[in-house]
């Protein structure tokens, strides 16, 4: 047996598959943000012993993200090249909110008093210009030890080109017997751009103690339940042993959303759909992505809490519009949704767990999209009166009815999610014509058709067990590790195929050795390559697929095409530069069987749903009992999600068990 457990901001989801990939059991429990392992153990506790004993556990968690966003942890130290102590405070000259007069720069994770300099200098080509001051290193280590830091980040100028000085500093820290975790920039991200490399290394060091303790404790706890082995999801959509995640925790930051995309791609591929927009609407936020083919697009960086991070991750955009997002009146007197969330505790008012502030889930209950008597995770009945009480102060302040305010809040959430989808698709040169929207997460199917209408998308797929898709995605993911190395070539046209192949061999040999050190057999892993290329004078790059034996002309042709696709123009006469080479090593995909929803013979009911400001009776159908197409407005329910079929849409179960919604003329 294989068990996938994904810890979200509101719920922790559990899916169990057998040896051929069939789902044999599921569970959903409230998350425990103060200690996510408690929800994991509760989720396992709801499974029969025979499913748990000897099983493999695949885990995705928000522990790394929460550690960063909450900034909870001990002080960390940073050792850097003399003259670069203030780099994390100077940051970049660009401002993310140019017209915000009250804008303040993101606060670094490391205090200035905990940043120490060492005398050394390496050129961008890796030449040692000034040797490492060993006595200065000893003083720096002693200073940080006296300060009581909990971890140390080491980021020296141009260490990506020659990491020898960083290695010697790490050896000095170890020799001092401090027993502290150490993050070296050339191991975390071996790329140029000093500020981004430094912030990524500092974040890795900051979250390392908390992530390490969490994963070690979790591994110990699940071993007591006779779990045979454990693997952890990364932001790039691949799973790795816990040792790899502990040594480089920054790769875990977006593991949950990446798992959802993995599951959505698997489900879409089985249904013969190769162009999809994924929409994962959970309790706290909504994550969207555009995928063409069977591999999600890879981004090389992101920004979390204002800090730029250079880590490989599935290209996902997140907005603060989830089922638990708070509906409120902003400083300008306008209705607004999120980004603050009610989370798992207390949760939306209708959960009956002490929440009193109105949320998107409460709004869906009030307009009838979630029918009266609806149950959370199939067990907990939702309280419509509590939802109404939560919205009444807003309605009074705005001079509108409770139902009108709830409907307006839902429309705001839909527009926010549609905007996020435009950002990952249309604004990056991807047309939505012919694409299908895959909606999952506990709240995704309630909003899917409305969001699709905003975007001109005519087809929506809601997978079986839609509220558990991210946990299921953990079980569809293969082993993946990404590696990169800046290999700057000022004139790509002058690079020979032999030079490129030699650089690739060096990168691949080091990568396979690192993987083997974590206990994974690296010999059977499949390599794929990307080259970051730009026109001379540009400050950004585009990633272009290539093979190590390719000639420069082939890389240039791919780059010109990619540039034209994304920006609408290219210049074949302009010189191009190769900046960074990227390697992905991928293992074999696990077996996956067709996903089906269990039959449910419970009689259908009706709900009074608000449509264009008027109440209309709409049928409530249980997904497992649907035998014929249904014209909207209608509501289709199962234990993990509720799907709203608006007027003008037709819903039916396809041959793969998906709930297919299509726009109709009726």
* pLDDT tens digits, 165-192: 999 999 999 999 999 999 999 999 999 9
Which of 442, 457, 324, 425 has its CA nearest to residue 376?
Answer: 442
Q: What's the pLDDT score for residue 601? A: 44
Q: Please state the separation of Cα 355 from the chain's center in Å.
A: 27
- Mean pLDDT, the chain, rounded, equals 90
Backbone phi, psi, residue 185, to 5°: -60, -35
Distance from C-alpha of 666 to C-alpha of 101, rounded to nearest angstrom: 51
**Per-residue confidence (pLDDT) for residue 521, from 0 to 100:** 86
What's this model's pTM, rounded to 2 decimal places? 0.86
The average pLDDT across 530-537 equals 96
pLDDT of residue 404: 93
**147 within a domain of the structure (yes/no):** yes
Measured between alpha carbons, how far is 65 from 361 in angstroms, rounded to an integer? 24
Residue 606, Cα to own-chain centre: how many angstroms?
Answer: 37
Query: What is the pLDDT confidence band of residue 376, given thresholds at 50, 70 and 90?
Result: low
Encode pLDDT of 411-453 as tens digits. 999 999 999 999 989 888 888 988 999 999 888 999 999 999 9
Does some domain include residue 650?
no
Tens-digit pLDDT profile for residues 468-523: 999 999 999 999 999 999 999 999 999 999 999 999 999 999 999 999 988 888 88
Q: Are residues 207 and 93 in the same domain?
A: yes
Separation between Cα atoms, residue 489 and residue 500, nearest integer Å:
10
Average pLDDT over residues 333-345: 83
Tokens 């949704």: give the residue: 337
pLDDT at 359: 94
Mean pLDDT, to the nearest integer, of 537-541? 91
Helix, strand, coil share of the chain (percent; to 5): 35, 25, 40
**Is 324:341 a contact under the CB 8 Å cutoff?**
yes
The answer to whether residues 94 and 206 belong to one domain is: yes
The DSSP line for 460-510 is EEE-TTGGGHHHHHHHH--BEEEEEEEEEES-GGG--HHHHHHHHHHHHHH
Cβ-based neighbours of 181, under 8 Å, separated by 6 or more: 150, 151, 152, 205, 208, 209, 212
User: Quick one: how far is CA 589 from the chain centroid?
Assistant: 20
**Per-residue model confidence (pLDDT) at position 595:** 62
Please indicate, yes or no, if residue 186 is contained in any of the structural domains.
yes
Q: Do both 404 and 484 map to the same domain?
A: no
d(CA 6, CA 15): 9
| Pairing verdict, β 313-314 and 480-489 | unpaired
Query: Could you give the CA distance from residue 372 to residue 622 in angstroms, rounded to a whole number?
Result: 14
- Among the three residues 171, 187, 212, which one is the final residue of a domain in this structure? 212
Question: E strands within 249-372?
Answer: 275-281, 286-292, 298-299, 302-304, 307-309, 313-314, 317-319, 325-329, 335-341
- Residue among 641, 280, 256 nearest 442 (CA): 641
State the number of CA atoms in the 13 A half-sphere of 640 facing the CB.
Answer: 30
One domain, residues 202 and 78: yes
- Check if the beta carbon of residue 312 is closer than 8 Å to that of residue 482: yes
Higher pLDDT, 368 or 523: 368
Tell me, what's the pLDDT at 169?
A: 98
Instruction: Tell whether 381 and 502 lie within a shared domain.
Output: no
pLDDT tier for residue 592 given thresholds of 50, 70 and 90 = confident
Q: Are 515 and 243 in contact (CB under 8 A)?
A: no
Strands 76-81, 115-118: pairing is parallel
DSSP H or E segment with residue 533: strand 526-535
Structure-token match 């522990």, residue found? 63
Asked if the structure places residue 150 within a domain, the reply is: yes
**Comparing C-alpha atoms, which of 225, 260, 184 is closest to residue 441?**
260
559, pLDDT greater than 50: yes
Residue 429 covered by a domain: no
Band (206; pLDDT cuts 50, 70, 90): very high
Instruction: Check if the beta carbon of residue 474 is closer than 8 Å to that of residue 237.
Output: no
Residue 277 lies in a domain: no
Q: What are the counts of helices (DSSP H) followed by strands (DSSP E) for the chain?
A: 17, 36
**What is the tally of structural domains in the chain?**
3
Q: Is the pLDDT of residue 603 over 50?
A: no
User: What local confidence, expressed as pLDDT, does residue 604 receive?
Assistant: 63
Joined together, the tokens standing for residue 548 give 């190590």
506 within a domain of the structure (yes/no):
yes
- Domain of residue 337 covers 327-365+375-411
640 neighbors 442 (Cβ within 8 angstroms): yes
Provide long-range contacts, Cβ within 8 A and 24+ apart, for 540-546: 541/579, 541/580, 542/566, 543/298, 543/300, 543/582, 546/500
pLDDT at position 596 over 80: no
Domain membership flag for residue 80: yes
pLDDT at 598: 52
Q: Note whether 645 and 633 are within 8 A (CB).
A: yes
Question: Measured between alpha carbons, how far is 616 from 635 in angstroms, rounded to an integer?
Answer: 12
- The answer on 406 and 484 residing in a single domain is no
Cα torsion through 172, 484, 232, 592, rounded to 10: -160
Final residue in a domain of this structure, among 212, 230, 257: 212
Among 659, 654, 658, 639, which residue's Cα sits nearest to residue 595? Answer: 658
Is residue 597 predicted with pLDDT exceeding 60? no
Where among 212, 237, 253 does a domain terminate? 212
Residues 108 and 188 in one domain: yes
Beta bridge partners of 319: 286
pLDDT, tens digit (0-9, with 9 covering 90-100), for 229-279: 999 999 999 999 999 999 999 999 888 889 999 999 999 998 889 899 999
**Helix, strand or coil for residue 666?**
coil
Which of these, 233, 247, 327, 322, lies nearest to 286 by C-alpha position?
Answer: 322
pLDDT per residue as tens digits for the range 22-68: 889 999 888 887 788 899 999 999 999 999 999 999 999 888 887 88
Gap between the Cα atoms of 91 and 308, Å rounded? 10
Comparing 596 with 496, which gets the higher pLDDT?
496
Q: Running DSSP on this structure, what letter comes out for residue 359?
A: B
Give the Å distances, CA to CA, from 428 to 510, 564, 570: 33, 11, 15
If one counts every other C-beta atom within 10 angstroms of the C-beta of residue 48, the result is 10
């Amino acid at each position: 047996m294989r068990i996938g457990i994904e810890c979200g901001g509101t719920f922790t989801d559990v899916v169990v598959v057998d040896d051929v990939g069939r789902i044999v059991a599921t569970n959903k429990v409230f998350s425990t943000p103060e200690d996510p392992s408690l929800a994991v153990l509760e989720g396992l506790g709801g499974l029969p012993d025979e499913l748990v004993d000897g099983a493999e556990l695949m885990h995705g968690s928000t522990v790394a993200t929460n550690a960063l966003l909450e900034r909870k942890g001990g002080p960390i130290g940073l050792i850097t090249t003399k003259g670069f102590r203030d780099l994390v405070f100077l940051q970049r000259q660009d401002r993310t909110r140019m017209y915000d007069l009250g804008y303040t720069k993101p606060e670094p994770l490391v205090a200035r008093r905990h940043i120490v300099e060492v005398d050394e200098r390496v050129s961008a080509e890796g030449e040692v210009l000034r040797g490492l001051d060993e006595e200065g290193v000893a003083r720096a280590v002693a200073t940080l030890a006296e300060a009581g830091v909990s971890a140390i980040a080491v980021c020296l100028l141009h260490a990506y080109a020659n990491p020898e000085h960083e290695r010697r500093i790490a050896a000095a820290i170890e020799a001092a017997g401090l027993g502290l975790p150490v993050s070296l920039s050339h191991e975390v991200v071996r790329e140029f751009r000093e500020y981004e490399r430094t912030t990524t290394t500092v974040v890795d060091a900051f979250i390392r103690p908390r992530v390490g303790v969490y994963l070690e404790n979790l591994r110990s706890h699940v071993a007591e339940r006779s779990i045979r082995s454990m693997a952890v999801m990364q932001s790039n959509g691949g799973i790795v042993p816990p040792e790899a995640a502990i040594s480089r925790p920054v790769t875990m930051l977006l593991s949950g959303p990446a798992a959802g995309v993995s599951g959505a791609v698997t489900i879409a591929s089985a249904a013969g759909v190769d162009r999809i927009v994924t929409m994962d609407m959970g309790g706290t936020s909504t994550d969207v992505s555009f995928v063409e083919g069977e591999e999600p697009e890879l981004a090389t960086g992101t920004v979390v809490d204002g800090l730029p991070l250079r880590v490989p991750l599935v290209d996902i955009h997140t907005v603060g519009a989830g089922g638990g997002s708070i509906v409120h009146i902003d400083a300008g007197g306008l209705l607004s949704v999120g980004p603050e969330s009610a989370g798992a505790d207390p949760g939306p008012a209708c959960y009956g767990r002490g929440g009193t502030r109105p949320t998107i889930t409460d709004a869906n209950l009030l307009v009838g999209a979630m029918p009266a008597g609806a149950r959370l995770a199939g067990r907990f009945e939702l309280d419509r009166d509590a939802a109404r009480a939560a919205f009444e102060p807003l309605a009074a302040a705005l001079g509108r009815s409770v139902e009108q305010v709830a409907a307006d809040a839902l429309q705001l959430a839909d527009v926010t999610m549609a905007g996020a989808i435009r950002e990952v698709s249309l604004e990056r040169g991807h047309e939505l014509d012919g694409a299908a929207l895959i909606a999952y997460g506990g709240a995704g199917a309630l909003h899917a058709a409305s969001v699709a209408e905003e975007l001109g998308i005519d087809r929506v797929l809601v997978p079986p067990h839609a509220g558990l898709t991210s946990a299921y995605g953990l079980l569809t993911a293969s082993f993946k590790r990404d590696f990169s190395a800046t290999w700057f070539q000022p004139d790509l046209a002058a690079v020979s195929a032999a030079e490129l192949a030699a650089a690739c061999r060096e990168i691949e040999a080091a990568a396979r050795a690192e993987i083997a050190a974590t206990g994974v057999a690296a010999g059977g892993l499949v390599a794929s390559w990307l080259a970051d290329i730009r026109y001379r004078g540009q400050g950004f790059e585009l990633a272009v697929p290539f093979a190590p034996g390719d000639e420069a002309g082939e890389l240039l042709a791919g780059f010109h095409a990619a540039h034209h696709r994304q920006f609408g123009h290219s210049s074949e006469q302009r010189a191009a530069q190769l900046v960074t080479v990227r390697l992905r090593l991928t293992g074999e995909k696990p077996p996956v069987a067709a996903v089906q929803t269990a039959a449910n013979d419970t009689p259908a009911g009706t709900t009074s749903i608000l449509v264009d400001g008027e109440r209309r009776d709409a049928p409530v159908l249980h997904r497992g009992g649907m035998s014929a197409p249904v014209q909207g407005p209608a509501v289709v329910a199962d234990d993990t999600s509720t799907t709203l079929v608006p007027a003008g849409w037709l819903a039916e179960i396809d041959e793969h068990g998906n709930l297919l919604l299509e726009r109709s003329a009726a």
